[in-house]
């Protein structure tokens, strides 16, 4: 089923991706705006219809979100498989670098993590099909369109998926506050799947038991935890530092 995404960056990134854009909707008075002209030019080059509508129509379609006067009607998202994520790494001749999100509930956290994952060169992200935030228009907006350049797999059973990855020699490392190993003391250079848990409960018991190693971030202040997106981003960039820098 087609869906709408909104915001200038997400719309432009979608135009540059393989995802099919069916129509661009612009608020009245926006077509000649310098900030919108690049989107108009890109859409015209790709022969994508552009429709100018009252701003109230965009407000309705975006459910009151900040749309910056621009929406795109796009084809339904096609999720990848875990096997396709590994094939993508192999195609790039790189050791697999994956992110597993265990029941992230907040769409802003999900969007932030997907944006960081794409920026850090992750080959793909695995999310659960149930009891977790979906990759919707708000997530795409928060991720600034990074979702359109990232392979995302949606799996029904994370523990079964982790077992599949381990059979493919992927080292599964979970981020947990009670872990004994500091995040920068673990070897994150080989085939890796980093697991980030739920905002409130962290990594679920079954997923935790299937991890090869648990790592933690040091805490020196009065608070004993960080936002899931912040903690996950720090760990992702530590892995990037070890692997690339």
Which distant-in-sequence residues (6+ apart) come within 8 Å of 32 by Cβ?
Answer: none
The per-residue pLDDT for 229 is: 96
> Phi and psi of 61, rounded to 5°?
-65, -30
Residues 100, 174, single domain; the answer is yes
Q: Is the pLDDT of residue 18 over 80?
A: no
Residue range of the domain that includes 58:
3-74
Nearby residues of 63 by Cβ (< 8 Å), 6 or more positions away: none
Same domain, 69 and 105: no
The 10s digit of each residue's pLDDT in 104-125 is 999 999 999 999 999 999 999 9
Could you tell me if 111 and 181 lie in one domain? Answer: yes
- Encode pLDDT of 161-171 as tens digits: 999 999 999 99
Number of domains in the chain: 2
* Helix-helix angle 34-45:8-15, to 10 degrees: 20
Q: Indicate if 115 and 53 belong to the same structural domain.
A: no
Shared domain for 90 and 210, answered yes or no, is yes
Residues 156 and 65 grouped into a single domain = no
Lookup: tokens for 128? 């659960």
Tens-place pLDDT, residues 19-74? 789 999 999 887 777 778 999 999 999 999 999 999 999 999 988 888 989 999 99
pLDDT exceeds cutoff 90 at 77: no
pTM for the model stands at 0.90
Q: What is the pLDDT of residue 112?
A: 97
Residue 76 pLDDT class (50, 70, 90 cuts): confident
Token code pair at residue 9: 């960056």
What is the pLDDT confidence band of residue 183, given thresholds at 50, 70 and 90? very high
**Any idea what the CATH number is for the domain that residue 125 is in?**
3.40.1280.10
Q: Which of 46, 74, 102 is the last residue of a domain?
A: 74
Same domain, 228 and 198: yes
Whether residue 203 is found in the same domain as residue 86: yes
Residue 39: exposure state from Cβ atoms within 10 A (0-12, 13-18, ≥19): buried
pLDDT band, residue 223 (cuts 50/70/90): confident
Distance CA 79, CA 112 (A): 19
Instruction: Give dist(CA 63, CA 87) in Å, integer.
Output: 38
Task: State how far the alpha carbon of 54 is from the alpha carbons of 7, 35, 65, in Å.
Answer: 16, 18, 15
Backbone angles phi, psi at 115, to 5 degrees: -65, -45
Distance CA(175)–CA(5), nearest Å, equals: 31
Residue 157 sits in the same domain as residue 62: no
**Average pLDDT over the chain, rounded to an integer:** 93
Residue that finishes a domain, picked among 58, 74, 90:
74
Which CATH number does the domain housing residue 42 bear? 3.30.1330.30
pLDDT, tens digit (0-9, with 9 covering 90-100), for 86-109: 999 999 999 999 999 999 999 999
Q: How confident is the model at residue 203 (pLDDT cuts 50, 70, 90)?
A: very high
Which of 22, 57, 74 is the last residue before a domain boundary? 74
| pLDDT confidence bin for 83, thresholds 50/70/90 | very high
Helix (H, G, I), strand (E, B) or coil at 3: strand
User: d(Cα 103, Cα 137) in Å, to the nearest integer?
Assistant: 18
Instruction: Kindly state whether residues 94 and 61 are assigned to the same domain.
Output: no
- For residues 8 and 121, state if they share a domain: no
Residues 49, 131, single domain; the answer is no
DSSP β-bridge partners for residue 154: 127
Closest-CA residue to 215 (of 171, 149, 167, 164): 171
* pLDDT at residue 162 in the model: 98
Above pLDDT 70, what percent of the chain? 100
Going by C-alpha positions, the residue among 75, 176, 197, 78 that lies closest to residue 128 is 197
């Amino acid at each position: 089923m087609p869906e709408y995404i909104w915001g200038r960056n997400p719309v432009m990134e979608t135009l540059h991706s393989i995802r099919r854009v069916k129509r661009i909707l612009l608020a009245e008075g926006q077509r000649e705006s310098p900030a919108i002209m690049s989107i108009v030019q890109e859409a015209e080059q790709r022969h994508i219809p552009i429709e100018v509508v009252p701003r109230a129509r965009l407000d309705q379609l975006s459910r009151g979100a900040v749309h910056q006067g621009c929406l795109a009607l796009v084809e339904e998202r096609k999720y990848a498989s875990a096997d396709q994520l590994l094939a993508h790494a192999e195609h790039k001749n790189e050791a697999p670098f994956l992110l597993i999100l265990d029941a992230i509930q907040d769409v802003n956290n999900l969007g932030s993590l997907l944006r960081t994952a794409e920026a850090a060169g992750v080959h793909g992200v695995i999310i659960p099909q149930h009891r977790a935030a979906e990759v919707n228009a708000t997530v795409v907006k928060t991720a600034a369109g990074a979702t359109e350049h990232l392979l995302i797999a949606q799996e029904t059973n994370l523990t079964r998926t982790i077992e599949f990855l381990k059979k493919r020699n992927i080292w599964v490392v979970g981020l947990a506050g009670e872990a004994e190993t500091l995040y920068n003391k673990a070897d994150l250079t080989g085939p890796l799947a980093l697991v980030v848990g739920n905002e409130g409960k962290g990594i679920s018991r079954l997923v935790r038991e299937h991890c090869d190693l648990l790592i933690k971030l040091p805490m020196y202040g009065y608070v004993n935890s960080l936002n899931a997106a912040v903690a996950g981003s720090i760990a992702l960039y530590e892995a990037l530092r070890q692997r690339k820098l």
